[in-house]
Structure 1
Amino acid sequence: MSSSLNAAPPSTLMRRAWLIVGLLFPVALLNYLDRQMIASMKVSVMGDIKDIGTEENWGHMLASFKWVYAICSPIGGYIADRFSRKLTICGSLFVWSLITWLTGHVSSFNELYWARTMMGVSEAFYIPAALALIADYHTGGTRSRAVGVHQMGIYCGVITGGFAGFVADAPDLGWRFMFDFTGLAGVLYAIPLLFLLRDVPRQSGEPETASSGDGGGSFGELIGNRNFILLVLYFTLPALAAWVVRDWMPAILQKSFNISQGKAGVSAALYWQGAALLSAILGGWLADRWMRRSERGRIYVSAIGMMLIVPAMFGVGNAPALNSFGLAIAALIVFGVGWGFFDCNNMPILSQIVRPHLRATGYGLMNFVSMMCGGLADWGFGKMSDRHVPLNVIFGVFAMICVFSLVIVLLIRPKPGT
C-alpha cells in the first residue's frame, strides 16, 4: 500500500477499498454473462447455425475459448503487474464487449468459433488484474470478504446467463439479441470505469524487481515456489467439474428430464450459482475471522468447501439414472455452497504465498493451467457424450479428483504474518 494511501484516515481507506469492489462487480457480472449465456442458448444457436453439426464441434468451440483464455491469462497478469491494473481491466472490458456484440452477427460455425476464440483472448486479461487490485486495497481482515463480493458478480452473471434460454426462445428477441444487448452494455460501461478506477500508487522505495523486471524472473520465482505449485493444482483440479457443470448442465438437464431450454438453463444456473453467491459471503466472513486465530484460516475454509463438492458430484452424476430432478437440484445447491467457500479464498491464499507484485501474474498462471485443463474437460465431455459414457461414471471421477484436491490444499504452508 502506498504512503499516500497510508496517510489517509482508515475510514477513507475502507470506503475507497469497497468502492473498487463496487465498480468491479458489474464487470465481473458481464465477464461471466457474456461467456456463459451461450450454454443456455445451445439449442437455438445450433438450430440457427446448421454447420455446427455435432456435440463434439460444440465442445471444441467451448474448448477453444478456454485454451486461448488460458494462454493469454499469464500475459494479462504480467501486464497488470508490470504496468497498470486499471488500464488492463478497462481495455479488457471494452474489447470483449465489442466481440460479444459481433458474436450476435455471425452466420457460420467458423465465424462463431473465431468470435469465441477472440473473446477468450480479451476476457483473459480481466480476472487476474481485478482480483490483484482488490487484494491491493484490502490488506487487512476484509480480503476474503472483498473477493467474495466480487465473485458474487460472477455468480450473478452466470445466473443471468441461465435466463438467456428464455430470451432465445422468444420469437421477438432470439439468441442474437442477447449478444447485441450485453455487448453494447459493456462497451458503454468501460468509458466511465476508465475515469473512476484507481491503481494503488507505488511507494517510492518499493523494490522494482517484480514490477518492472523481466517476465522470466517473475515466472521463475513463481514456478520455484512449492506452495504456488500446490495452489495451481488445487485451483485446477476442481475446475474440471465446474466447467462441465457451467457449460453442459443446461443440456444435461434438458435431455435427461425432457424439459424446455429455458427451464433447463435457469435450473442449471440459478440454484448452484445462487448457493455459491451466498456461500462466498459466508465463506469470506468465516475465513477472515478464522485468520484471527490461525494463518491457515482461509485454507481450512476452502477445504470445507471441497468436502462439500465431493458428495455433490455423486448426486449430479446419479440423478439422471434415478430420474430424480430433485436430486439433481439438491446436488447442484450443495456444489454451489462448496464452490463459494473455495472460490472466495483462492486469491487471498495466493496473497499469503507470493509477493504483492506477483499476484496478478500468479493468478494468470493459475488460470492458464486451469483453463487449459477445463478446455480438455469440455471437449472430452462432448466426445464422451457422443459415445454414451454414463454420467455417473464421469462425475464419479470428478468426485475422486476433488478428494485428491482436498489433500493438496492442506499441504500449502502460508508465510507467517500474511
Structure 2
Amino acid sequence: MSHPDTLKPSTAMTTSRYAWTVVALLFPVALLNYLDRQMIASMKVSVMRDIPSVGSEANWGHMLAQFKWVYAVFSVVGGYIADRFSKRYAICASLFVWSAITWWTGHVQTFEELIWARSLMGISEAFYIPAALALIADYHGSLTRSKAVSIHQMGIYCGVIVGGFSGYIADSPTLGWRLAFDITGIVGLLYALPLLILLKDKPAVPAAVPAPATSSGELGKLGKALGALFSNGSYILLVLYFTLPAIAAWVVRDWMPAILQKEFNISQGHAGVSAALYWQAAALVAAVGAGVLADRLMRRTQRGRIYVSAMGMMLIVPALFSVGNAPGQHSFGLAIFGLILFGIGWGFFDCNNMPILSQIVGPQQRATGYGFMNFVSMTAGGMADWIFGIMRDRGVGLNIIFSTFAGICVLSTVLVLLIRPRDTERDGGAAL
C-alpha cells in the first residue's frame, strides 16, 4: 500500500473529499445522540407527572446518573472495539440499538422501566462518540482536524437545541413527551442502514515493523492498551482536564431547564428552550471559530490547540458565577448571559479534545483513549447529577454549587497548559 505522502494527486483529492463526507455523514448521528439526552431533561416535569413512581428529585438525579455510569463503563469497551475491529460497524450498530431504545423509552410506565431504558441507552450510546471522533481524526490531519471535529460537535449542539424545544411538545395535550421519543427513535432506525452503506473505515497503513504475535485474549489486549495510555503523563493530564469541566456541564445540561422553571416561574417549554438554545447556539458558533483558530495556530506552534482550549476554559469561570448568582439577583437576563458565555467557552474547549488527544496518542489508541476519558468524565458527571439532586432537596444554594464549579475550572486551565504534545504520526492522515 502506498504511503499517504506518495499518493497520486487524484487519489489524494478523492481522499480529501471523502474526509469531509465522513463529517457530513456523522453530523446527523451526533445530533440524534444528544437529542435524546436533552429531551429527557427538557420534559422532566411531564415525565415525572406521568410516572409518579419517580417520586423525588433525588430519584430523578439517580436516573440521570445511572445513564452516565453505564455509559462510562462501556465507553472504554466501545472505544477498544472501534480501535481493534471497525469504527464503522461500532458507529452504525450503536445508532441502530440506541434508536430502538429511544422508541421504547416513550412506552415505559414505571420508574424501574425508565431506569432500565436509560441504562440500556447508556450502553448503546457509549459506542458512538469514541469511534466517531477517532474516525474523523483518522481522515483529517493537523491542518483540518480541529475544524472537522468542531463541525461534528455542531451536530451535538443542534441536537441539544432541538431537544430544548421538546418541552413545548410535552406541554401540548395533543402531542406529549412519549410521541417525541417515538419519532426520534424511528428517525434513527431509518438512518442506520444508509449510514452503514456509505460510511467507510480508513484503510490502515501497514506498520514498518509488524507487531509481535500475542496469545493474550481481548481482555489482556485491552489491559495492555490501557497500560500504554496510563504510562503517558500528558494523557493523564488530559483525562483530568476533560473530566473536571464536564461536572459542571452535565449539571447545566441536565438540570438547567428545571432550575430556570423553578427559580423564574416560567413554563416548561420556555425553560427548556432557554436552557438549551442560548448556550448551545453560542457553543455552535464558537466551535467553528475555535476550530479554524486552532488549526491556524498549529502552523505556528504545536501548542496552538492547547492555548485555544485554555482560553475557552477561562471564559467558563465567570459564566458559572453568573449562572449561580442569577436567581439570587432575580435576574433572568444574568442567567442567560452566563449561559451564552458558558457556551462560547465550551465551544473552544469541546472541539479541541480529540485533536489534543491525537497529539499525545497514536492512531491505534485514540478511540480507546477517548473511551477511557468518557469513562472518567461520565462517572464524575453521574455523581454530580445525583449529588446535585440531593443538594437541591436539602436547599443548598445555587451560588455555592456553581462557585465550586468555577473553582474546579480554574484548576482545569492549569492542567491543560501542562500537557506536552508530540508527533504521534508521520503521515497525519491529512485531508487536503
* TM-score (structure 2 length as normaliser): 0.94
Residue by residue over 1:201-228, the C-alpha shift from the partner in whole angstroms, topping out at 9 and shown as x without a partner, is 1123466659998111111000111000
Once the two structures are TM-superposed, the CA of residue 277 in structure 1 deviates from its matched residue by 0.3
Q: 1:125 aligns with which of 123, 127, 145?
A: 127
Separation (CA, whole Å) in 2 of partners of 1:337 and 1:40: 21
Q: Where in structure 2 are the equivalents of 1:129-140 lying within 5 Å?
A: 129-140=131-142
The question of whether the paired residues in 2 share the 8 Å contact of 1:210 and 1:218 is answered with: no
Once the two structures are TM-superposed, the CA of residue 139 in structure 1 deviates from its matched residue by 1.5
Q: Given the superposition, is the C-alpha separation of residues 166 and 209 from structure 1 closer, same or farther in structure 2, using an over 3 Å criterion?
A: farther
Q: Given the superposition, is the C-alpha separation of residues 219 and 25 from structure 1 closer, same or farther in structure 2, using an over 3 Å criterion?
A: same
Matched, 1:219 2:226: yes
Equivalent residues, number: 418
Instruction: Give me the identity figure in percent.
Output: 69
Separation (CA, whole Å) in 2 of partners of 1:352 and 1:178: 40
Q: 1:29 aligns with which of 24, 31, 41?
A: 31
Q: 2:252 aligns with which of 245, 258, 261?
A: 245
One-letter code aligned to 1:46: M
Matched, 1:271 2:273: no
Residue by residue over 1:336-368, the C-alpha shift from the partner in whole angstroms, topping out at 9 and shown as x without a partner, is 000000000000000000111000000000000
Q: 2:90 aligns with which of 83, 88, 91?
A: 88
Provide structure 2 residue ranges, at least 5 long, that are not aligned to the other structure: 426-432
The question of whether the paired residues in 2 share the 8 Å contact of 1:81 and 1:211 is answered with: no
Matched, 1:202 2:204: yes
- C-alpha RMSD of the superposition: 1.6
One-letter code aligned to 1:319: A
Which residue does the alignment assign to 2:396?
389
Separation (CA, whole Å) in 2 of partners of 1:42 and 1:344: 29
Q: Given the superposition, is the C-alpha separation of residues 208 and 263 from structure 1 closer, same or farther in structure 2, using an over 3 Å criterion?
A: farther
Separation (CA, whole Å) in 2 of partners of 1:266 and 1:298: 31
Separation (CA, whole Å) in 2 of partners of 1:256 and 1:399: 21
Q: 2:411 aligns with which of 401, 404, 417?
A: 404
Which residue does the alignment assign to 2:59?
57
Once the two structures are TM-superposed, the CA of residue 34 in structure 1 deviates from its matched residue by 1.3
One-letter code aligned to 1:151: Q
Separation (CA, whole Å) in 1 of partners of 2:338 and 2:401: 15
Q: Given the superposition, is the C-alpha separation of residues 119 and 295 from structure 1 closer, same or farther in structure 2, using an over 3 Å criterion?
A: same
Separation (CA, whole Å) in 1 of partners of 2:109 and 2:3: 54
| Partner SS state of residue 199, structure 1 | coil
Separation (CA, whole Å) in 2 of partners of 1:73 and 1:210: 27
Q: Given the superposition, is the C-alpha separation of residues 346 and 4 from structure 1 closer, same or farther in structure 2, using an over 3 Å criterion?
A: closer
Separation (CA, whole Å) in 1 of partners of 2:27 and 2:311: 26
Provide structure 1 residue ranges, at least 5 long, that are not aligned to the other structure: none
Q: Where in structure 2 are the equivalents of 1:142-153 lying within 5 Å?
A: 142-153=144-155
Residue by residue over 1:273-298, the C-alpha shift from the partner in whole angstroms, topping out at 9 and shown as x without a partner, is 00000000000000000000000000
Which residue does the alignment assign to 2:334?
327
Which residue does the alignment assign to 1:367?
374
Separation (CA, whole Å) in 2 of partners of 1:144 and 1:396: 30
Once the two structures are TM-superposed, the CA of residue 330 in structure 1 deviates from its matched residue by 0.4
Matched, 1:257 2:259: no
Which residue does the alignment assign to 2:430?
none
One-letter code aligned to 1:230: L
The question of whether the paired residues in 1 share the 8 Å contact of 2:360 and 2:424 is answered with: no
The question of whether the paired residues in 2 share the 8 Å contact of 1:2 and 1:202 is answered with: no
Separation (CA, whole Å) in 1 of partners of 2:290 and 2:51: 42
**Structure 1 runs of 4+ with >4 Å offset:** 1-5, 206-213
Q: 1:304 aligns with which of 304, 308, 311?
A: 311
Once the two structures are TM-superposed, the CA of residue 10 in structure 1 deviates from its matched residue by 3.3
Which residue does the alignment assign to 2:110?
108
Which residue does the alignment assign to 2:79?
77
* TM-score (structure 1 length as normaliser): 0.97
One-letter code aligned to 1:182: T
Separation (CA, whole Å) in 1 of partners of 2:323 and 2:243: 20
Which residue does the alignment assign to 2:191?
189
Separation (CA, whole Å) in 1 of partners of 2:390 and 2:351: 32
Residue by residue over 1:133-176, the C-alpha shift from the partner in whole angstroms, topping out at 9 and shown as x without a partner, is 00000013000000000000000000000000000011111000
| Partner SS state of residue 290, structure 2 | helix
